[in-house]
């Protein structure tokens, strides 16, 4: 534990760096899960407790009281306490995914979920004890009430069920803990992060084993992973309740403050805070299909093939896409060479077509001679499109596919394309999120 870090929470929100989610694929639940895991995997681990920077240091930044910077705010009681710079009698560290479900031993090996601060929050010690390792679930008026206090403009109202209190009954796997209305979305998105971040296998840098953490409504599966040992698979929930809480309690400034602080240290982000809409695709199989937008207007290329490129322009008001495809030989052809398309050495094709969601079918046209620079007059083929067709599609803002068919020369193929530079990726992501 160190007593001073050069970091403050004055900046509540600092969105993901441009291109952070550029490789996300939203076409199917599995594609989205896999692409998100690849982005947030292999984060930088900080020790749980240490004389160097540890989880205490980061969490006292992440959960700093926004009105009293020398204090922290607890997740369940909403209480404000003077920062203690480590272990104390007032607050401790809550694992929203209880460590007993898959990763209880933080001994000799590097236990990544144990210290992953995207799911760690500062909590009143007695509230943490009462929650224990109970799954998150809805309660009722017969449950035991754990009130909140007024702080930062919320909490402290009390009243009957549900009010703005936490509620609990039962014990261990077959008990239940209902988080109060002001922070239930926070814990829900933390749990979703854990499910996607931890898919089993080994940490890509350190080589240490990681569990496969899975959200479920099946308490028997949860109980099977509550063994007291680190397990290959750990279960927690209740998934259906967490999805409900995710919808009821949207991301706010307090949650974003925690997120940005943790991300600045660990180097990875919680995608369900940055993009709450992705939860429905990953966990409810309701996936919005990517749609072409003006943020795709850019230069594109295929990394495996030199000597060609694509200029793509979307016209949203016309619902039309235009593409220019140029190719050239990387070595000059012989002077007596002939070509069955364009001119020896280089050629230029164009295509235009209507947009249908994330794809467009276009007819190919070619300038007479197909040259970059020619003294002869340029004319178009007659009839237009007689050279073939192109199927252009995009999985996301940074990955597309060109599938072409040119019957006159018996050429067909599929070309994966990506941006030459990510200058328009942020615009594309914003347009896609706001449609």
**Rounded Cα distance, 349 and 364, in Å:** 7
Domain count for the chain, please give it: 2
Q: Is 154 a member of any domain?
A: yes
- Count CB neighbours of 243 within 10 A: 17
Best-predicted range by mean pLDDT (215-229, 286-300, 372-386): 215-229
User: Are both 225 and 162 inside the same structural domain?
Assistant: yes
Q: How far is CA 152 from each of CA 10, 66, 248, 419, rounded to the nearest angstrom?
A: 15, 7, 19, 44
Pairing of strands 389-394, 144-146: unpaired
Residues 235, 120, single domain; the answer is yes
* CATH code (residue 427): 2.40.160
- Residue 48 pLDDT exceeds 90: yes
Asked if residue 155 and residue 278 are part of one domain, the reply reads yes
pLDDT (0 to 100) of residue 341: 65
Question: Does 393 lie in the same domain as 324?
Answer: yes
pLDDT reading at 149 higher than 50: yes
Is residue 84's pLDDT more than 90? yes
164 pLDDT more than 60: yes
300 shares a domain with 277: no
Tokens of 420: 């030459």
Mean pLDDT across 345-365: 88
Tell whether the torsion through CA atoms of 59, 202, 283 and 234 is positive or negative.
negative
SS3 187: helix
Residue 308 has pLDDT above 60, yes or no: yes
The percentage of the chain sitting over the pLDDT mark of 70, rounded to a whole number, equals 89
Same domain flag for 209 and 322: no
- Examine residue 10 and state whether it is found in any structural domain, yes or no: no
How much is the pLDDT for 409?
A: 83
Residue 27, SS3?
Answer: coil
Q: Looking at the structure, do residues 301 and 204 belong to the same domain, yes or no?
A: no
In a domain, 7, yes or no: no
3 domain residue, yes or no: no
Specify if 12 maps to a domain. no
Does residue 371 register a pLDDT over 70? Answer: no
Same domain, 85 and 194: yes
Q: Helices 253-266 and 184-197, interaxial angle, to 10°?
A: 30
- Note whether 122 and 191 are same-domain residues: yes
Looking at residue 334, the DSSP 8-state letter turns out to be P
Using pLDDT thresholds of 50, 70 and 90, give the confidence band for residue 27: confident
pLDDT tens-digit readout, 92-116: 999 999 999 999 988 867 899 999 9
Kindly state whether residues 203 and 301 are assigned to the same domain.
no
Q: Lowest mean pLDDT of 2-11, 148-157, 376-385, name the range.
A: 2-11
- pLDDT above 80 for 150: yes
Q: Is residue 122 part of a domain?
A: yes
- Give the pLDDT band (50/70/90) at residue 331: confident
Tens-place pLDDT, residues 222-234: 999 999 999 999 9
Domain boundary among 259, 284, 309: 284
CA 184 – CA 120 distance, rounded (Å): 14
* pLDDT level of residue 4 (50, 70, 90 thresholds): very low
State the pLDDT at residue 8.
Answer: 40
Question: 15 or 149: which carries more pLDDT confidence?
Answer: 149
Question: What is the average per-residue pLDDT within 5-14?
Answer: 42
Q: Identify whether 9 is part of a domain.
A: no
For the segment 270-299, the average pLDDT, to the nearest whole number, is: 93
Q: In terms of domains, do 250 and 157 share one?
A: yes
Give the domain-ending residue among 228, 256, 284: 284
- Is the pLDDT assigned to residue 6 strictly greater than 50? no
The reply to whether 11 falls in a domain is: no
Give the residue from 224, 255, 284 where a domain finishes: 284
Q: Is the pLDDT of residue 429 over 70?
A: yes
What local confidence, expressed as pLDDT, does residue 342 receive? 63
Q: Are residues 215 and 347 in the same domain?
A: no
Domain that holds residue 337: 294-433
Q: What is the predicted pLDDT for the residue at 7?
A: 40
Average pLDDT, the chain: 89
Across 388-397, average pLDDT: 91
């Amino acid at each position: 534990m160190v007593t001073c870090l050069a970091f403050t929470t004055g900046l509540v929100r600092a969105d993901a760096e441009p291109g952070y989610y550029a490789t996300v694929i939203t076409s199917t639940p599995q594609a989205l899960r896999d692409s998100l895991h690849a982005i947030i995997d292999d984060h930088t681990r900080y020790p749980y407790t240490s004389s160097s920077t540890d989880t205490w240091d980061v969490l006292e930044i992440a959960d700093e009281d926004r009105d009293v910077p020398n204090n922290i705010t607890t997740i369940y009681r909403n209480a404000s306490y003077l920062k203690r710079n480590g272990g104390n009698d007032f607050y401790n560290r809550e694992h929203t995914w209880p460590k007993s479900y898959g990763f209880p031993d933080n001994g000799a090996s590097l236990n990544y979920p144990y210290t992953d601060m995207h799911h760690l929050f500062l909590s009143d010690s007695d509230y943490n004890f009462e929650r224990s390792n109970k799954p998150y679930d809805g309660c009722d008026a017969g449950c035991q009430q754990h009130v909140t206090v007024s702080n930062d403009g919320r909490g402290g109202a009390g009243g009957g069920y549900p009010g703005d209190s936490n509620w609990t009954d039962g014990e261990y796997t077959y008990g239940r803990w209902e988080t109060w209305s002001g922070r239930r979305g926070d814990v829900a998105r933390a749990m979703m992060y854990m499910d996607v971040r931890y898919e089993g296998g080994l940490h890509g840098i350190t080589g240490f084993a990681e569990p496969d953490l899975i959200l479920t409504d099946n308490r028997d599966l949860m109980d099977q992973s509550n063994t007291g040992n680190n397990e290959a698979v750990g279960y927690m929930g209740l998934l259906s309740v967490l999805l409900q809480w995710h919808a009821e309690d949207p991301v706010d400034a307090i949650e974003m403050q925690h997120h940005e602080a943790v991300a600045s240290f660990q180097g990875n982000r919680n995608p369900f805070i940055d993009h709450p809409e992705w939860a429905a695709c990953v966990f409810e199989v309701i996936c919005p299909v990517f749609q072409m937008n003006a943020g795709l207007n850019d230069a594109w290329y295929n990394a495996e093939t030199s000597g060609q490129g694509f200029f793509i322009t979307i016209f949203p008001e016309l619902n039309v896409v235009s593409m220019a495809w140029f190719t050239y030989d990387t070595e000059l052809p012989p002077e007596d060479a002939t070509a069955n398309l364009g001119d020896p050495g280089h050629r230029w094709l164009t295509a235009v077509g209507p947009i249908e969601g994330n794809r467009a079918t276009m007819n190919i046209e070619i300038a007479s001679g197909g040259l970059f620079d020619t003294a002869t007059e340029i004319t178009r083929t007659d009839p237009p499109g007689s050279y073939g067709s192109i199927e252009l599609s995009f999985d996301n803002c940074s990955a597309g596919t060109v599938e072409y068919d040119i019957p006159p020369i018996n050429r067909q193929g599929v070309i994966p394309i990506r941006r030459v530079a990510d200058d328009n990726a942020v615009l594309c992501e914003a347009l896609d999120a706001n449609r």
